[in-house]
Structure 1
Amino acid sequence: MTDTSIDTSPFDLSGTTVLVTGARRGLGRAIAVEFARAGADVAIGLRETADDAGLASEIEALGRRALPVRMDVTDLDAARAAIDRTVEEFGPLHTLVNNAGGGIVAPAIDVTEEDFDRVWALNTKSTYFLSQHAARHMRNAGGGAIVNIASQAGLVALPGESSYCIAKAAVVHLTRCQAVEWGEYGIRVNALAPTFIETDGTQAALSDPAFRADTVERIAALHRIGAPREVSGAAVFLASSAASLITGQTLAIDGGWTAR
């Protein structure tokens, strides 16, 4: 999305619509709220629409519209229908944030085919085909932005997380491929690659003092765990006109982990 106006902030997303997958908690929730703060109306992708943990109310309290949509991203037909409903309710879809994801912890020698397929479907297959469906809407509307939540695991090897690393590495490269093909439609595709962020999803691992100390040491420059808003702000940037010449890129939000 390109805004040539000089009268508004390039980070102002007023009048736009975003759909965030996996929005109930953690990074997805932070991203949904951040887009509302920036002025966007937000469709919130949830496994069950009644279980939004107050997120719709939080977005509406910021003066924006919220639309809970049922969206298990591994059920592609249902997820595509959620994209269609967003467009029907809110009008053109300006931004898709592919946030839903997850992995397993297992040595590479023990990962089963079922494990691998499940991680691939959740992280990579869903990102590919939901981006495709959103891009068809965006092409018809004259453009848009797709922000994929990859991971530093897609840039470096993390022992015990091989299937997740491979899935996120594929997200990094599909970001490049789709950006190159869809630029002619005015669609930009970028990714974020966060390090460990303080969320309810990482709480169990980071509560282990030894694991936390090792993680802080590996975050080689800043030596601290990240906060959700350090990712959500970057997602808004990539969707905004401030990033209008940026596409096909993966921004590492890793405190220097991958620089070492």
Structure 2
Amino acid sequence: MSGEKAIIVASDEAFQTKLGEWPDGQRGLLIQRKVNGPRHNLYFAAHKGNLIRLCEARITRTDRPDGTGLAVDGETVVPDPARTAYLQAIAADLSYTGIGCAQFLVDPNTGESWFLEINPRVAGNHAVPEAAGLGLGPLSISLARGEVAQGPLFIGKPGLRYAWSYGDLSRVKRLWQKPNRASIRTIVSAVIESLNTALRADIHMTWCWSDPMPTLTLYGRLLTRGRNLVATEGDT
């Protein structure tokens, strides 16, 4: 909505201001009480309603300052028993067979978990569960063919830091853009933060030393758009 995955408002008046006009094709809204805390992704595979593989990741930073948006910095962690039980209950109720990603918001003070969604696609974060050893790609095909035998729950490797540097640099570009350009100090801080995240990461979402061209192509497009933005502003 309005180019965002979610919008956060404190009142009906703020909602009306933020929304503007009702988006074309939007049939309804999902409204949830605000919860402060990081988002946790549970990547999983299930067979006939039983979890067979699981990896939990805590998102420490996104490409939006309010914590919505897409993850640019995160870390795999030991799966929380309560969230694992919630996910198992959902999978059982759906008789779920396949791979997926369930998302929760977690209160850092109480540890309470608040369910956001369950999605049958892992999308751009596929590299995270793969690096953690889940092998969801080949497994999804086996599940679709009915070839997977039930076994003990496999837990992915915790402690892996990951980064999405392309999204991080896109965030820097948005900070630079008018009419709401951030201060130079904020922009420089964002660049340093992005570099620090990239250098510490064990996993990169869009970079592979053995196959660098897709990432270089993406960065080339970003740099071209950045040069065009600077040139356009120079003409105004």
Give the TM-score taking structure 2 as reference length.
0.26
Q: Larger Cα Rg: Structure 1 or Structure 2?
A: 2
Give the TM-score taking structure 1 as reference length.
0.25
Choose between structure 1 and 2: higher strand proportion: 2
